[in-house]
Structure 1
Amino acid sequence: MRALNALLGAALLSVLLVADPSHGTIVVPAQEAAQFLRPRQRRSNQFLEETMQGHLERECVEERCSREEAREVFENEPETEYFYDRYLECIRVFGSPYARNTGLITCVHNKDECFVNNGGCNQVCLNKPGSYHCSCFSGYVLQSNNRICEDIDECKHSTAICGTARCRNHLSSYSCHCNNGYKYNELVKACEDVDECEQKLCEQTCVNTPGSYTCHCDGRRGVKLSSDMNTCEDILPCVSFATEKSIKSLYLGRMFSGTPVIWRRFKRKQSTRFVAEFDFRTFDPEGVLFFAGGHQDSTWIVLALRNGKLELQLKYNGIGRVTSSRPSINHGMWQMISVEELERNLVIKVNKDAVMKIAVSGDLFTFEKGLYQLNLTVGGLPFRPNELIHSINPRLDGCLRGWNWLNGEDSTTQETVRLHDKMQCYAVAGRGSFYPGRGFAIFNLGYMASSGDEQAEGNWTISMTAEIRPAADTGVLFALVNEDKAVPLSLSLIDYHSSTKIKQQLILLSIENTTVSSLEVNVCDSDHSVGIFIAKETILLTVDGVAGQSEMNHAQLKASLNLLNDHLQRDVKTYLGGLPDVAITSTPVTAFYHGCMTVKINENALDLDDSVYKHSDLTSHSCPPIETGK
């Protein structure tokens, strides 16, 4: 076969050399013609013996190949296109294949394995002369097969990568997370509190706390937090009380100071006997109805109540006496009472039945400056109570109507009462103290054990029960306040939970501004009995016999009780129905209580008439009923 090829080549060469150009033949230079005569192997019928690399060597390295020749080597367009452009670049850089530059050989044979199927890499394939390798994106690592990349779980590989924050793995990355109310500081790798108060989220007062914040509204101005926990809204009644008043009634308890609500001075030209008649209603066991006479050192009488019974103190000619009737009249029903001078006797009648008859020597009217004169005060005394024959608390939560003094018409008093509703009584009233949503009462009470008991030295007990009928769902029932206006202890109604920030009606027991115990109660549906018992190591809240839920663990509770103990070693005042002008944030609730309430502390019933201060709008012993059908 080789001999035949040589023979044919020689013959062809002879033809070409002798051809005459004038006859249309082509004369090829000897060097180029030699290329045709150089022995060449067949391309297509020896694929079992020759590889593609061999074809590439002969076609494009040993000599310059065309695109069509490169197509015969690769047998597909994509690889041909990729190779041939690179091939031309290699020739540009290293010169013609005939120059036999070894750089061209390396350049042509540097196959890009990454071209087909990314070299088997599932992420990055990096080609290099004579070889290639797989690589991964940031956040991935190459598996042992050197082909597949898998995600690096930075949270497991480096447990401290987020510091005190929580690490969350992602594909190719990770992130550091903090609880709500905190933000991540990458420099110190820690969660830092977000001060939400800087964002002006609260309408009134904002208090930042670790991881959260609380808004506070000034309850003393009649507002509370709304449902969004940021803005304030008015405290509105949830129950309507029948607070209508009677313009024909005179309220005796308006002046907490014990001074009279009515002062009258009668002058007569002739000697006149004393006559007084009126209808009277009260639940109060003690207080002054009226005084009649001259001055403290002259002749006078005082009609009062003590232990619910009528008591008459009188002084004639420097001699004082005290007498009382048998039946109790502080049952809240209207009854007619009369006092009359008859034949040197004073006769007191209840519903026209004589209950007292006292012999007297002298007249209540005193003759002065040519006239018979008499002073009358209603609902109080013209002098100090300790100057009576038997001292008495003059404050009386009672009502008069249909009064008649000295058988004369008292139009002046009637007009004054008509124009001033605070001088009027509730048209209907029951037992209990009424708190109208403004004002409070203050008591000086001791909670420490007797100093004579050595074992009890420094110990204290707070036992309080309250029967309540609320008209609103927010307000202070009971509180202790020290001279620095801190609030060591408070019992309150509120309509939201400060921790969960969920609207719900609760009764809270708090030490300073921290809730110790709470219980969810529909406070506006009926009367409720609320109790607390607190000692050095015990604290208990009950509502209608159900124990409250603790808001603290044992260690926190112990710390709070120690704090309360420190407060009780100093003087504290007891507040009912509200608080003085304390800081809004000093306790969870600052609003005034609205509704009826009676209170016992350490088994002793508290009478608002015995307080050291009481707002004039609070009634000590009369509470209006709930309006029918509301």
Structure 2
Amino acid sequence: MTGSFRKIAGGSGCVAVLAACLVAVATGAEVQRNGRGKTMIPGNSTINLGQQTNSWRPLVKTTANLTDVRSIKSTFEFRTFDPEGVVFYGDNHSGEEWFVLALHGGVPEMQIYKADMLISSSGGPRLDDGLWHLMEVSTEGKFVLLEVDGSKALMVGLHSQKVEEVITGQLRLALGGILIDSSKLLVPFRPEMDGCVRAGSWLDLTTPWEMEDDGAELRPCLETIQRGSYFPGSGFAVFNISALSIEAPESGVKIVLEGEFGQMDGTVLSIRGGGALVLGVDIDKNSQTMLLTFGNTVFSTASNTKKIMLMYHKQSIHLSYGEEPFEYQQNLTEGKNLDQSIWREGRLAIGGLLGEGEDAVGSNFLVGCLKKILVQGKQLDMDLSAKDASVWSHTCPVLQRERDNGRDQWV
């Protein structure tokens, strides 16, 4: 994130350097504690930003004196499948001037506030492709420049008629969140960023990062990843169905799930409405069985498929799966039509069985990667749910066979 520091070359002020002020992280986080009991991480550590849930609060932050700044260029490597969220932030004088680098629609976006000017600019290549990209933030005169993989991606000019004073004081930097109220942003966006940074140089500063949440554990940055939502067996995600804007439920509601279901274990999906559990889909990895629970009806079939489609009509529920679809249909008797109010008042859970409120009861949390979760043809975004911090919104590990025991494991 940014901060304030003494005037350096060219005169676009602290904010220009603010942008450059931020950007670092390398390999091997050596976790320590400071005198206030906070977890400290060296500035050259690899850090996974994807463990914040519904919060603008940064994952890590640091503070440095502007007099310690010796460089106006910062570089780091960045990798994500997430199209939207905060990468880093910086400010000086506790937020009087600030800088934010984020992704919006997969494209880099810079927002800068300086001398009563609020500027936003986006452009460059899409970065949500799961590949490592070399990022460089620097200043050239009155311009803040973002380079991606050695090519200019985004440039923002800054000029104020105000007399620029020599800046002293402290610089605050943060990763994965911001230190100002989100209402100050010119362009709103969702803050959560499921991505990793590594191999950084942050203005040559050596100040360590401090973790905001004392109880949090650093999530690893995996060597090999794939697109999807990963559930490690310790939590689930809940959506209010009304927020999904399901249209024309009278003509049927279709939910499509894709993944290696034969390698999963636990509750994949559940729907609750009208005070009762409407539907549940569970997988038992040991028996390679998938159970569909609909009211008092339980249907069992093999789980060795990569695609499940559930279609709800007013008087029936329809299940199909596989490349050569197996189909099962449960017709409802007179007076037992599917209550259409669930599409207005119900809740949909991915990775757990819904109980009262938003609790999960009576089932195992899902272990596995869901590559696609489509409702009425639209991909569900885990960042729009109330989810456990253990759920990876946009990133999955890769299923690999262990040499020693011949079993497939998520690694």
TM-score (norm 1): 0.50
- With over 3 angstroms needed to count, the CA separation of the structure-2 counterparts of 1:536 and 1:420, relative to structure 1, is closer
How do residues 420-431 of structure 1 correspond to structure 2 at under 5 angstroms? 422-431=218-227
Alignment of 1:191-340 (within 5 A): 247=29, 248-256=45-53, 257-269=55-67, 274-294=72-92, 298-340=96-138
Q: Kindly indicate whether residue 257 of structure 2 is the aligned counterpart of residue 476 of structure 1.
A: no
What amino acid does structure 2 have at the position aligned with 1:535? H
* Residue 439 in structure 1 maps to residue 249 in structure 2: no
**Structure 2 residue corresponding to 1:509, chosen from 273, 292, 299:** 292
Give the secondary-structure state (helix, strand or coil) at the position aligned to 2:119.
Answer: strand
Structure with a larger share of its residues in strand: 2
Kindly state the Cα deviation for residue 282 of structure 1 after the two structures are TM-superposed. Answer: 0.6
CA contact (8 A) 2:231 2:369 kept: yes
Deviations 1:361-415 (A, max 9, x none): 36xxx989x83322211101123434311001110100001122221234x3399
Show the 5 A alignment for 1:209-608: 247=29, 248-256=45-53, 257-269=55-67, 274-294=72-92, 298-361=96-159, 371-410=168-207, 412-413=208-209, 422-446=218-242, 459=250, 461-470=252-261, 473-482=264-273, 484=275, 486-494=276-284, 504-515=287-298, 517-522=299-304, 528-545=306-323, 546-550=325-329, 554=331, 557-558=332-333, 562=337, 564-565=338-339, 568=342, 571-581=345-355, 590-597=363-370, 598-608=372-382
1:276-315 CA distances to partner (integer Å, 9 max, x unpaired)? 3211111111111011113786321110111111111112
Larger radius of gyration: 1
Aligned partners of 1:327, 1:289: CA distance in 2, in Å? Answer: 16
Distance (Å, rounded) in 2 between the aligned partners of 1:424 and 1:306: 24
- CA distance in 1: counterparts of 2:304 and 2:204, whole angstroms: 53
Percent of aligned positions that are identical: 25
Deviations 1:528-571 (A, max 9, x none): 11111111023211111423335x5x5xx336952x31652761
Q: d(CA) in 2 for partners of 1:415 and 1:569?
A: 40
SS at match of 1:396: coil
Q: Distance in 2 between matches of 1:272 and 1:280?
A: 23
CA contact (8 A) 1:316 1:361 kept: no
CA 1:538–1:514: 2 relative to 1, 3 Å: closer
Question: Structure 2 CA distance, aligned partners of 1:358 and 1:375?
Answer: 21
1:580-610 CA-to-partner distances (Å, cap 9, x unmatched) read 4559xx99x7211111002011111011112
Secondary structure at 1:565 match in 2: coil
Q: Distance in 1 between matches of 2:223 and 2:85?
A: 21
Superposition deviation, residue 261 in structure 1 = 0.7
Shift of the 569–301 alpha-carbon distance from structure 1 to 2, 3 Å rule, reads: closer
CA contact (8 A) 1:482 1:567 kept: yes
Contact kept in structure 2, 1:491 and 1:507, CA below 8 Å: yes
Q: 1:626 to 1:348 in 2, by over 3 A?
A: same
| 3-state SS of 1:338 partner | strand
* Structure 1 residues 427 and 559: CA distance shift in structure 2, 3 A: farther
- 2-side partners of 1:467 and 1:569: how far apart? 22
Q: Is the 8 A contact 1:299 1:316 kept in 2?
A: yes
Q: CA deviation at 1:260?
A: 0.6
In structure 1, distance between residues paired with 2:355 and 2:339: 23
Higher helix share: 1
- Structure 2-normalised TM-score? 0.75
- Partners of 1:319 and 1:343 in 2: how far apart? 17
Does the CA contact (< 8 Å) of 1:258 and 1:394 recur in 2? yes
Distance 2:210 2:229 in 1: 26
Runs of 4+ in 1 over 6 A off after TM superposition: 270-273, 414-417
2:384 to 592, 606, 610: 610
Q: Quick one: higher RCO (CA 8 Å, sep 6+), 1 or 2?
A: 2
1:475–1:594 Cα contact (<8 Å) kept: yes
Q: 1:460 to 1:532 in 2, by over 3 A?
A: same
Name the aligned partner's letter for residue 302 of structure 2: E
Structure 1 residue runs of 5 or longer lacking an equivalent are 1-244, 451-455, 496-502
**SS of structure 2 residue aligned to 1:371:** coil
Is the Cα contact below 8 Å between 1:290 and 1:303 reproduced in 2? yes
Q: Are 2:277 and 2:354, in contact at CA under 8 Å, matched by a contact in 1?
A: no
1:265 shift after superposition? 1.6
Partner of 1:624: 397
In 2, are the aligned partners of 1:449 and 1:460 still within 8 Å (CA)? no
Contact kept in structure 1, 2:93 and 2:170, CA below 8 Å: no
| 1:203 alignment partner in structure 2 | none
Post-superposition offset of 1:425: 1.6
Decide whether the 8 Å contact of 2:260 with 2:304 is kept in 1. Answer: no
Alignment of 1:28-107 (within 5 A): none
CA distance in 1, matches of 2:343, 2:127: 43
Which residue in the other structure is 2:10 paired with?
Answer: none
Deviates more, 1:251-260 or 1:262-271: 262-271
CA distance in structure 1 between the partners assigned to 2:220 and 2:395 by the alignment: 13
The answer to whether the Cα contact below 8 Å between 2:28 and 2:46 also exists between their aligned partners in 1 is: yes
* Contact kept? 2:60, 2:210, Cα under 8 Å: no
Give per-residue Cα distances to partners, 1:98-152, cap 9 Å, x unaligned. Answer: xxxxxxxxxxxxxxxxxxxxxxxxxxxxxxxxxxxxxxxxxxxxxxxxxxxxxxx
1:443 is aligned with what amino acid? F
Measure how far apart 1:461 and its partner are.
Answer: 3.4
- Aligned 8 A contact 1:519 1:543 in 2: no
CA pair 568-322 structure 1, distance change in 2 beyond 3 A: same
